Amino acid sequence: MKQLWIDCDPGHDDALALLTSIAHPEQLSILGVSTIGGNQTLEKVTKNAQNVLAFVNAEIPLVKGEEGPLVKPLSTAAEAHGDSGMDGPYFGENTYPLVKESFLHYMYKTISAASEKVILVCLGPLTNIALMLKTFPDIREKIEYISLMGGGITHGNITPLAEFNIYVDPEAAQIVFRSGLPIVMSGLDVTEKAEITVEEIQRLKGKGKVSNLAYELLSFYNHSGRQFGFVNSPIHDLCAVAYILQPDMFEGAPHTVEVITDDGLARGLTFADKRTNVTMVKNTFVLDEVNREAFVQLLIQSLEILDNK
Ligand code: RIB
Ligand code: CA
């Protein structure tokens, strides 16, 4: 049994990562979910997280995190995820409860009390994680590793050089990558290969309540991806959960990853320092290959499990 804390900014792919992690209670125990301003404002991504958790009758503590980055103003991604941050499905109203306590104290208290070391799953800008590491350094002893979607060694998406999650809060990303904690980085090098085809999306329609929700999410996401030149849909955030469930479907290599934090053209660029300097701690396992069929099959099977619950 692996214990997880999931930090996210739903977001279509965040939602699919959440659903997949919920579908495997025999392997994954989700201690809590926190939200972070990113794809949309904190209010909107938190509402989206409530909608997803309520949709599958989850009973997982949900806490609002930071409004935005440590230093920079918040950049959102309505062009990719729509005005709500998760356009497509209609959820209606729900009253999924929010933890009243501050996320920092709640997250620290919960992870500290965990019976085993916890895996941090980071699916948005890294603001919340950086704040926790800085505020409560002793929390490091309770973290097994960080599985994050973010960055890219060869290219970007929000700019030619930077991936969105890192671009939004590069200072937070620098704190996390330099923490020395073990990190598994699902950057664009692998997530853009972790794509679902239009035909595979179509097969989800009407299959079951949760499969159909995924169909509605992916239909919007696929359409919006066309503006960026995508025909199929990379499910970026799902890689960070799929790695925990089935690491063998991925390949990668250890690197020392650094982040550019200035406001120039390279803001948010993540690069692998490949010098042979022995003092460099290669703490980040950068994924660069995925078995796409196994990846999509994991999603489909996870949705089927939730359909039949
Ligand atoms: O660049 C992809 C990342 O940005 C994903 O986490 C997606 O949800 C958006 O937040
Ligand atoms: Ca995300």
Which tens digit of pLDDT belongs to each residue from 24-57? 999 999 999 999 999 999 999 999 999 999 999 9
Q: What is the pLDDT of residue 127?
A: 98
- Tell me the best of 167, 185, 236, 241 to mutate to test the pocket of ligand 1, counting ligand atoms within 8 Å of each CB and taking the most: 236
Locus of tokens 């002893």: 141
Tens-place pLDDT, residues 113-140? 999 999 999 999 999 999 999 999 999 9
How many C-beta neighbours within 10 Å does residue 44 have? 23
Q: Which atom of ligand 1 is nearest to the CA of 164?
A: 1
Ligand 2 centroid–CA 275 distance in Å is 31
Ligand 1 geometric centre to CA of 237 (Å): 7
**149 CB near ligand 1 (under 6 Å):** yes
- Distance between Cα 278 and ligand 1 center (Å): 33
Residue ranges and CATH numbers for the domains of the chain are 2-307 (3.90.245.10)
User: Strand, helix or coil at 29?
Assistant: strand
Q: First CA to last CA across the chain, in angstroms?
A: 20
User: What atom of ligand 1 comes closest to residue 237's alpha carbon?
Assistant: 6
CA 111 – CA 24 distance, rounded (Å): 20
Burial (0-12, 13-18, 19+ Cβ within 10 Å), 218: buried
Name the nearest CA neighbour of 186 among 119, 285, 272: 285
Q: Which residues are catalytic?
A: 236
Instruction: Give the mean model confidence (pLDDT) for residues 81-102.
Output: 95
- Output the pLDDT for position 278: 61
Whether the model clears a pTM of 0.95, i.e. scores above it, the answer is yes
